[in-house]
């Protein structure tokens, strides 16, 4: 997480030289966008919590430390589960697995999406047709049932969860990235690069990909959001690895031990709120990327105001 911040400050120092490049424009736009900053702060807090979990709550978080089903108190801030585990420790430790799986599956799906989308758009014709049909099939087959039967046939474990999330997650990003790559593919500088004899892989990597950085960013965030949500759903249904501690498995155990029926809302609330906060932060960030790169979506005062778009921050 430290690298993007250092590059961002570095670019803020010398904006004059860098501002012509689209990527630094994106970063600068994000730095001054309130939605992006709120999202980044929330994410940073969770990442810190995840990294510091072993320090804050040393030892195995699922060990039984207290009386069962205690309400939140000074000693156990979020109360205890029906088994007598500390809910706060479970929640903080849960961040590690949830964020890791979400990030891993999201990044992998995006990489596959980039490969398929770029290949499809660059080579066109039969390759494009075939890859598009495959992509569309994966988009159409309902994701959750596919996740469930894949998970049911494979041995339970974190690897399985990540694998099935990638299988169901890559197609959406491939479609978006393909259409973006198609429009860049038809630009003159790509043709120029072809004429100078650059290899296909080089053109895709150096000419096309950098020009769609913002779309890649958007799909990456979308993939991570999707992966975190799908992971939670899968684990909630009991199809993940129930022996690990993550927000999804916390909710699975909460449901299994009848936390709501006995009125132990404190067991149930924290993990769900954490998933929501992370997803919300990612969505805010995604929304901000959209706003920065697509001037039409910036909030304007009135529809009929045809004056030049004001670059003021919207007041949400």
| 18: contact with another protein by CB under 8 A | no
Please report how close the Cβ of residue 24 comes to another protein at its closest, in angstroms: 26
Contact 134, 119 (CB under 8 A): no
Can you state the percent helix, strand and coil of the chain, rounding each to 5? 70, 0, 25
- Closer residue to another protein (CB): 117 or 143: 143
Q: In sequence order, what are the beta bridge partners of 86?
A: 80
Distance, CA of 172 to CA of 219 (rounded, Å): 8
| 148: contact with another protein by CB under 8 A | yes
| 47: contact with another protein by CB under 8 A | no
- Closer residue to another protein (CB): 56 or 141: 141
Q: Which of 60, 183, 256, 299 binds another protein (CB under 8 A)?
A: 299
Long-range contacts of 289-298 (CB under 8 A, 24+ apart): 289/26, 289/30, 289/36, 289/214, 289/217, 289/218, 289/221, 290/218, 291/33, 291/35, 292/25, 292/26, 292/29, 292/30, 292/33, 292/36, 292/214, 293/26, 293/29, 293/214
Mark 236-265 with x for binding to another protein (rule: CB under 8 A) and - for no binding: xxxx-----------x---x----xx-x-x
| 152: contact with another protein by CB under 8 A | yes
| 155: contact with another protein by CB under 8 A | yes
Distance, CA of 283 to CA of 222 (rounded, Å): 8
- Closer residue to another protein (CB): 25 or 233: 233
Distance, CA of 87 to CA of 269 (rounded, Å): 10
| 133: contact with another protein by CB under 8 A | yes
Only segment of 23-31, 59-67, 104-112, 136-144 that touches another protein (CB under 8 A) = 136-144
Binding interface with another protein (CB under 8 A): 133, 136-137, 139-146, 148-150, 152-155, 225, 229, 232-233, 236-239, 251, 255, 260-261, 263, 265, 268, 272, 275-277, 279-280, 283-284, 287, 296-297, 299-303, 314-316
């Amino acid at each position: 997480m430290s690298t993007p911040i250092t590059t961002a400050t570095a670019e803020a120092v010398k904006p004059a030289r860098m501002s012509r490049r689209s990527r630094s424009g994106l970063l600068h736009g994000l730095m001054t966008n309130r939605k992006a900053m709120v999202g980044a702060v929330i994410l940073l807090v969770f990442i810190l919590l995840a990294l510091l979990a072993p320090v804050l709550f040393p030892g195995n978080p699922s060990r039984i430390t207290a009386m069962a089903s205690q309400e939140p108190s000074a000693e156990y801030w979020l109360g205890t589960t029906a088994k007598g585990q500390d809910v706060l420790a479970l929640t903080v430790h849960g961040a590690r697995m949830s964020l890791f799986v979400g990030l891993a599956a999201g990044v992998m799906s995006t990489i596959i999406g980039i490969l398929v989308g770029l290949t499809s758009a660059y080579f066109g014709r039969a390759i494009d047709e075939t890859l598009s049909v495959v992509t569309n099939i994966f988009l159409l087959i309902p994701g959750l049932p596919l996740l469930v039967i894949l998970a049911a046939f494979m041995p339970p474990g974190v690897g399985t969860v990540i694998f099935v999330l990638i299988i169901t997650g890559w197609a959406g990003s491939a479609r978006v990235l393909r259409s973006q790559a198609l429009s860049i593919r038809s630009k003159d500088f790509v043709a120029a690069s072809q004429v100078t004899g650059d290899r296909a892989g080089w053109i895709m990597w150096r000419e096309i990909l950098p020009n769609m950085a913002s779309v890649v960013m958007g799909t990456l965030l979308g993939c991570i959001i999707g992966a975190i949500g799908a992971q939670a759903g899968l684990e909630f249904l009991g199809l993940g690895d129930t022996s690990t501690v993550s927000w999804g498995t916390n909710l699975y155990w909460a449901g299994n031990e009848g936390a709501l029926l006995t009125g132990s809302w404190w067991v149930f609330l924290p993990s769900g709120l954490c998933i929501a906060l992370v997803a919300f932060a990612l969505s805010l960030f995604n929304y901000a990327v959209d706003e920065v790169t697509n001037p039409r979506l910036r909030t304007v005062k009135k529809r009929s105001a045809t004056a030049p778009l004001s670059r003021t921050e919207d007041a949400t």
